[in-house]
Structure 1
Amino acid sequence: MPQPLRILFLHHFPLWGCGSGTFVRNLAIRLSGKQEIAIACPETRTVEGVKLYPIKLPFFASFTGHPEHPNSKLYAELSPGEITQLYRAFLHYAVDAVENFRPHIIHANHAGVLTWAARYLYAIYGIPYLVTIHGTDLHNIDLDRRYWHLSRDAVKAARQITCVSGDTRAWFYRIFGGEDKLRAKIRTIPAGINLADYDRTLSTDDLDAKYKLTGRPVVMFAGKLTPYKGVRYLVKAARWINGEVVIIGDGPELHTLTDLARDLKVSNVRFLGHFGKKDDLWLHKFYQRADVFVAPSVWDEPLGMVILEAMAYGTPVVVTRKGGIPLAVKDGVNGRFIKPRNSHDIADKVNALLADPARRRQLGEQARQVVEEKFTWDKIAEKFLQIYRARAAGGNGKNGKTDRT
């Protein structure tokens, strides 16, 4: 039997509140039973079975917004000095983690400042690394080419690159080029779901009582409130939707959206804020309770975790045909597609499902089946473990050493 690997994850953001954080957290948990796992990131909350190295940043920045830091700057807004401050902090804490944990391989998430640190660690310590591209990192580089040169150097030096969807992979090629050496080491591996966490017998009576939803159809959105998520079109559609529209999340567009709802005089939209770790059970109850889940994204969204989470509960999804979403959703089979930036189409598709319980059940059961067949963390963790074992061999460090025992 192969010896356990020590795998160090590097992540720019907290482990709750964004799709990539959920990705890192769940992959780490899934691997922790048979491997030694550590995560270095700006997080202090514990993850069972995982060693945490909290990164203390001088300030927080995000690619498109983060619900736990709704007033943070975007990376594209940072001054050269601020970028340098973040790089120094990321590198300092990443080095501390390496010195203490002595990993066999590093898994860096996002092409960004922290991945530059992974490149440094490879050069100095000889620790090979892989990079997972989540999509928002590419969006940041599209906005601000200052991040291109060092990010390209980092991905070129990586032993392996994975992208969360085929569309994200194509986007990667558009930004960094599609030379043969890059193409040879890129794979598409999506995010996953731990089905044991999605109890479809979960009672929602207390949720109905708490939020006064008894007898009301519920239409749900969950995610970061940024312009790219297209939530404004759901708010506009609420004028014609025959049910309660529940919006869970926070971000830089929250006040714009609440102002829009007030100006339109819609009384069936509820903004419930960000649901963090302590609210996880309530979030799951909303997935279970919702009659329809809507994700009206207007950008090339990687396959959003919230879509998979809704599908895991057998909740029919109404989504745009953007980015990696078609990897999981097939129109009329396990969900419905809507036109981007089209509130009337959202309302029409949602109302048609609200009026047809049998159709909702059919789409929801098909959605659950797709998750069971393609998107469980057991299957996805095994794919990553094969990569770790293959890429942990060999090295390029100061003394050419790779034995981290």
Structure 2
Amino acid sequence: MHEYVRRIAFISEHASPAASLGGEDAGGQNVYVDDLSRQLSRLGYAVDIFTRRTSPDQPVILDWAPGVRIVHLDAGPPCPVAKDQLWCWMPELRDAFLRFLAEKHAWYDLIHAHFWMSGWVALELKRRLGIPVVQTFHALGQTKRRHQGEADTSPPARLAVEHAIVQQADRLIAQCPAERQELIHGYGASCKQITMLPAGVDTELFHPVDQAQARLRLGLDPSEPVVVYVGRILPRKDVRNVLRAVALLVRRLGQPARMLVVGGETPEPDPQATPELGALQRLAAELGIIDRVIFTGRRPRSELAWYYGAGDVAVTTPWYEPFGLTPLEAMACGRPVIGSAVGGIAFTVQPGVTGFLVPPRDPEALAWRLGQLLVEPNLRARMGDAARLRVEREFTWERAARQTALVYEQVLAEAGTPALTPGVDERPRRLSKVHGLHRRVAHGIG
């Protein structure tokens, strides 16, 4: 039986690994929390993921994977709530965490907070219990406000809370150079406080498949060019830009391309459940390409390799993107990626090597790059091979977990936690630590 040497508390208030992906508030953060925790457990860490209860039927503790549990805390109504409406319940989440510690006689060496609201909870716990905090934002309020303007529905307190987290967290994890620069120049973070550590991709789940077999499985013409988009169906993802580019390909360049749009709130494409989907369907009809676009609805992660594999090229051109996991998934499947030159995409996609970068909101530039790739099979193959190789070298979850573990151990060493010594019985020290922690819990919520 595996003996876990450190206990880590993940706090991820709205993004549970158990949530269905593809919806408005279920995407990259859910995957990050899920896959990173699994890999950390293989390195000897026990990880409890604290998230908000969204159904009365959810157990307090769900054994999720070896060494990984999901803990559902009561904070607000036990039903789905949009993440931007959760802020008022964060004190309840904090208190529910403290009650869990007291009732279960639990203890943690370190808290890893995901997203800004979880960061606030983590700082509250650090103040009461003295547990060090590592923060991954996944998205920054300043970036969102800059790109969304009045459409930004974040609570007014967000920026002030993010600044406080930057000042008080023991370490910040930035997933790409753009996020690191935003933390330094927009939030006043110090360089030594930040570790740049990109997310990963499951290279076993996302792997190259035979294109002819993938198209047969999905009922697609084996000979026509196929452009694939996989991801959430939101205005900022700007799938409209891709539709306009495909229309230019069809009309102006004579390329009879087919487009797959994979994502949404429901397994079947439903404009009522996913309003942006209705806007895309109307736009496709206006552009005269409705017969060339397949809206699949949400698909399980276990099936996505077939959709990436059926495509000749994967496309994602959001206005902004904090990191973006779907380009890595496509690359792991051996497909070139055309992406916006923004955020994490500008870091993961190597222009001219694994795909191309284009300006956001520029369907002409996108159509030109699409046309280039769709008529050059050798270029596609070369870029697809390079994409898979880049993922294997730089973006596996195993690599991400090992780097994260180094951050944890550095933070714990700075906090005065003794280093792990093979063969030394840790139980007496841990028992003493638990008793001390529970005394602080009693004062913290008493």
Interval containing the TM-score (normalised by the shorter chain)? 0.7 to 0.9
Structure 2 residue aligned with 1:88, among 87, 91, 106? Answer: 91
The range that moved more, 316-325 or 168-177, is 168-177
How far apart in 1 are the matches of 2:380 and 2:12? 37
Structure 1 residue aligned with 2:314, among 263, 279, 293? Answer: 293
Structure 1 residue aligned with 2:167, among 133, 142, 156? Answer: 156
- Structure 1 residue ranges without an equivalent (≥5): 62-68
How far apart in 2 are the matches of 1:59 and 1:207? 44
The range that moved more, 386-395 or 339-348, is 386-395
SS at match of 1:331: coil
How far apart in 1 are the matches of 2:347 and 2:403? 17
Number of aligned residue pairs: give it: 377
How far apart in 1 are the matches of 2:77 and 2:140? 19
C-alpha contact 1:40 1:55 (8 A) present in aligned 2:
yes
Change beyond 3 A, Cα 1:341–1:107 = same
Structure 1 residue aligned with 2:225, among 209, 217, 225? Answer: 217
How far apart in 1 are the matches of 2:337 and 2:383? 8
How far apart in 2 are the matches of 1:46 and 1:136? 31
How far apart in 1 are the matches of 2:63 and 2:294? 31
Equivalence for 2:281: 258
Over 6 Å off, 4+ runs: none
Change beyond 3 A, Cα 1:192–1:60 = farther
Deviations 1:343-402 (A, max 9, x none): 122222112211111110011111111111111122211111111122234379xxxx99
How far apart in 1 are the matches of 2:314 and 2:404? 30
How far apart in 2 are the matches of 1:56 and 1:285? 38
Structure 1 residue aligned with 2:51, among 13, 24, 41? Answer: 41
SS at match of 1:336: strand
Deviations 1:115-171 (A, max 9, x none): 111111111122111101222555456655422223322332211111111101112
SS at match of 1:161: strand
Equivalence for 1:323: 343
Equivalence for 2:441: none
How far apart in 1 are the matches of 2:405 and 2:352? 35
SS at match of 1:272: strand
Change beyond 3 A, Cα 1:200–1:355 = same
TM-score, scaled to structure 1: 0.84
C-alpha contact 1:395 1:402 (8 A) present in aligned 2:
no
C-alpha contact 1:221 1:293 (8 A) present in aligned 2:
yes
Structure 1 residue aligned with 2:126, among 115, 122, 125? Answer: 122
The range that moved more, 346-355 or 12-21, is 12-21
- Structure 2 residue ranges without an equivalent (≥5): 147-151, 250-255, 265-273, 418-430, 436-446
Equivalence for 2:302: 281
Equivalence for 1:245: 259
The range that moved more, 133-142 or 328-337, is 133-142
The range that moved more, 20-29 or 282-291, is 282-291
How far apart in 2 are the matches of 1:226 and 1:60? 25
Deviation at residue 55 of structure 1 after TM alignment: 3.7
2:132 matches 1:105: no
Change beyond 3 A, Cα 1:52–1:153 = same
Percent identity over the alignment? 24
SS at match of 2:71: strand
Equivalence for 2:390: 370
Deviation at residue 209 of structure 1 after TM alignment: 4.2
SS at match of 2:207: coil
Larger Rg: 2
2:374 matches 1:354: yes
Amino acid at match of 1:261: A
SS at match of 2:360: coil
Change beyond 3 A, Cα 1:282–1:216 = farther
2:202 matches 1:184: no
TM-score, scaled to structure 2: 0.77
Change beyond 3 A, Cα 1:161–1:362 = same
Q: CA RMSD in A?
A: 2.8
Deviation at residue 102 of structure 1 after TM alignment: 1.3
